[in-house]
Structure 1
Amino acid sequence: MKKAMIVIIGIISLFVGQACDQQQSTTDQDSSMLSSHTEQAEGSKEAEASAEQDSESNEEQGIEVVTDPQSVEVLVNEEYELMEGYEPDDLVYPDISFIFEEKVEKRLMREEAAEAIEQLFAAAKADGMNLLGVSAYRSYETQKNLFDYYVAQDGEELARTYSAVPGTSEHQTGLAIDVVGEDVSCAAEDCFADTVEAKWLEDNAADYGFIIRYLEGKEDLTGYKYEPWHLRYVGVEMAKEITDLGVTLEEYMNAVPVSN
């Protein structure tokens, strides 16, 4: 009888031991799974944080390059050409004075830019500045004839520093205009940089959505020499940001630099 009891107790002890081992194994597995889930969650949070930091970094560096010619923010240069045959469908004649009287193509601008240049000229006049338009819209064909003329005059290498290859001119967008002050002899000439009108534009153009497109010392980025007379409409918000940063449109959009 005693032997039977001992055997029974042994069997019970064996089952209890196995049950404990199984419970411990299950506990260990649960702990391992919990640890794995925790690590995955932490890894996911770290990845999200990294993505947010990358996004913020990209936002700080600039915006995406705009290539749609219908957008007033479009970037046009030798790296980002206009579509072949592009012509704006909302060209109008802004109510401003030019250095010529004829109602010709180079008076035209896109409607939004035309309204903005009217406001800019009016503000300049209120401050005692007499601005005049020199050249606004140019078709592809007009730009081609002009560029060919400059190449024949100065050679292609020099011509490309101050005149756009056809299809790469901002004037074709209808968003750009060259201006001059009271001394019309400085129209599209370096002497304009020393005028009171040039200083006024530097300080006030952004309030009306315009930037000085080709900045001094940025020739390797824009592909053109300093042109304080060349105004480009991009909209008030972007114009103010670009002007406050003191950068070119290429830098603002993190675009490929132009190099002649």
Structure 2
Amino acid sequence: MLKMTKMLIAFLLIVSVGGCGKKAKTPNEDNLNPTETPQSQETAQPTAEPEETPASNNDGNEGDIVMEVPDLTSLDSINLIVNKQRPLGEDYEPADLVKPDVPLAKSSVTMRQEAAEAMKIMFDAAKEDGISLMIGSGYRSYDYQKTLYNNYVARDGEEEANRYSAKPGQSEHQTGLAADLSGTSGNCYLKGCFKDTDEGVWLKENAWKYGFILRYPEGKEEITGYIFEPWHYRYFGTEEAQKIFESGLTVEEYYNLQD
């Protein structure tokens, strides 16, 4: 009996040792798709999404916000910019000057046709609001501006004249797109007090709707080169005027034309 017990124990030990040689399964190995290669622990870790590089305004990708800059240099463009750094030649005169069909201080007042037509629409709208407007000055030739400027220099000196009067070639009036406005009464014409008149207030609040911008705003002399002129409005077309008005910037700031 003792001999049989010893033989049974020996048999069990042999079976136990042989079983230790079997390979152990890796976790979830049976669940792997046969076509997939298991990732190493390093590559299996979640990876951060690459940061998106802001799209350039010039690459044309869908969704980009691109500011379309109009033609600021062509003599035919209604967006032509004229200032102390961007003068016109002495022979320049718009080819489409017409007399606006609105109250005029002088029968000789003319403007470029598109601006004149927009002025008519604006004056009619103002009248519906009980505001009567008048154009005091529109297109001015190079020679006429030269006479005005020289007279101001003789009266106030060159430094002071440069603050409120353009040298010949540097006046927006030569484009035929600018006008000095007032009420039909002429009160405060070419004076700072025009801003407080009913006409001045209406223009400041509404002129942009008809394509006109207050060209020389208050407190911007260092940027525009001229004192505050609440009577001087410049035509840019309704779409562009709205953009400039809503920006709250001067023309020089809006188009990045500052030196």
Q: TM-score range by the shorter chain?
A: 0.7 to 0.9
Q: Is 1:76–2:78 an aligned residue pair?
A: no
Q: Is 1:67–2:73 an aligned residue pair?
A: yes
Return the alpha-carbon distance in structure 1 between the equivalents of residues 191 and 111 of structure 2: 22
Q: Is 1:177–2:182 an aligned residue pair?
A: no
Return the alpha-carbon distance in structure 1 between the equivalents of residues 71 and 65 of structure 2: 12
User: Identity over aligned residues, as a percent?
Assistant: 48
Superposed CA deviations along residues 29-55 of structure 1, whole A, max 9, x for unmatched, are xxxxxxxxxxxxx9xx96xx5534898
The SS at the match of 1:132 is: strand
The SS at the match of 1:184 is: coil
User: What residue identity is the alignment partner of 2:198?
Assistant: V
Cα 1:171–1:236 change in 2 (3 A) is same
Superposed CA deviations along residues 162-186 of structure 1, whole A, max 9, x for unmatched, are 1101001000000000010144141
Alignment of 1:1-260 (within 5 A): 51-52=56-57, 59=66, 63=69, 66-100=72-106, 103-104=107-108, 107-257=109-259
Return the alpha-carbon distance in structure 1 between the equivalents of residues 254 and 93 of structure 2: 25
Structure 2, unmatched stretches of 5+, are 1-49
Cα 1:167–1:127 change in 2 (3 A) is same
Number of residue pairs the alignment of both structures matches: 207
8 Å Cα contact 2:56/2:64 also seen in 1: no
Return the alpha-carbon distance in structure 1 between the equivalents of residues 253 and 100 of structure 2: 30
8 Å Cα contact 2:71/2:77 also seen in 1: no
8 Å Cα contact 2:70/2:79 also seen in 1: no
The SS at the match of 2:231 is: strand
8 Å Cα contact 1:72/1:233 also seen in 2: yes
Superposed CA deviations along residues 88-134 of structure 1, whole A, max 9, x for unmatched, are 0000001111224xx32xx1000000000011111111100011110
User: What residue identity is the alignment partner of 1:113?
Assistant: A
Larger Rg: 2
| Cα distance, 1:256 vs structure 2 | 2.3
**Root mean square deviation of aligned Cα:** 2.3
Higher helix share: 1
Quick one: higher RCO (CA 8 Å, sep 6+), 1 or 2? Answer: 1
> Under a length normalisation based on structure 2, what TM-score does the superposition of the two structures give?
0.74
Cα 1:211–1:145 change in 2 (3 A) is same
Query: Which range is displaced more, 80-89 or 126-135?
Result: 80-89
Return the alpha-carbon distance in structure 1 between the equivalents of residues 58 and 134 of structure 2: 47
8 Å Cα contact 2:183/2:199 also seen in 1: yes
Structure 1, unmatched stretches of 5+, are 1-41
| Cα distance, 1:59 vs structure 2 | 4.3
Return the alpha-carbon distance in structure 1 between the equivalents of residues 199 and 146 of structure 2: 30
Cα 1:94–1:112 change in 2 (3 A) is same
The SS at the match of 2:74 is: coil
| Cα distance, 1:213 vs structure 2 | 0.5
8 Å Cα contact 1:64/1:254 also seen in 2: no
The SS at the match of 1:161 is: helix
User: What residue identity is the alignment partner of 1:131?
Assistant: L
The SS at the match of 1:206 is: helix
Superposed CA deviations along residues 71-95 of structure 1, whole A, max 9, x for unmatched, are 0001100111113411100000011
Return the alpha-carbon distance in structure 2 between the equivalents of residues 225 and 65 of structure 1: 26
| Cα distance, 1:190 vs structure 2 | 1.1
